[in-house]
Amino acid sequence: MIAYHVDRSGTLQPNQIIDLFKDVKINNIFDDYNNSFSNHGLNYLNQYSDSAIWELCLEFIRLKHFPNYPSRLQSFFGVNSFEEALFWKGYISSMTTTNINICKIEFSKSFEFDARWMTNPPKLPNINNNYNFSPKSIAKILEYCYKYWNKEISTNPIKELLIIPPIKVIEIL
């Protein structure tokens, strides 16, 4: 299958094969991962930030409710079209000064989700109780994470593919 990837580091090269990093030594809380993580996963496991909190909440919900989907900590990310890649490039460019490339990639298996639940999630009506949780509260983050893994579509979806490695970089566009 063919997709497009936004290379945040600007380091990918044509014909490069991307696979999981093996033999990463992390304590036994991560035994389910067979000591292998994607570059994305290693990045978030090595920092404390809002993004890292989101990734860990996403992983908590996936393990509890959707264990048949691949871990984001072991996935490569992409989109189906060049136009979607341009959107993501613009979105990421606003947060960094590094060179960002769009790559055409080849892979065997992926799953599609709506990343809007993580990037500026919609405000949801709270009809079940009197609590009005902040969109940045852990309660709302966990609710949005569940909607992401449940493949619910937001009012203004931003599609992303979780791609199971290995992938091959075909060309830099």
State pLDDT tens for residues 16-58.
998 876 665 566 556 566 656 666 655 656 665 677 788 888 9
pLDDT of 28: 58
Nearest to 79 by CA among 171, 167, 159: 159
> What residues of the chain score a pLDDT lower than 50?
none
Domain range for 128 is 2-172
pLDDT of 19: 87
Q: Please give the model's pTM, rounded to 2 decimal places.
A: 0.80
Q: Are residues 82 and 171 in contact, defined by beta-carbon separation less than 8 angstroms? A: no
pLDDT of 74: 87
pLDDT of 32: 62
pLDDT of 80: 97
93, with CB counted inside 10 A (0-12, 13-18, 19+), is middle
Domain count for the chain? 1
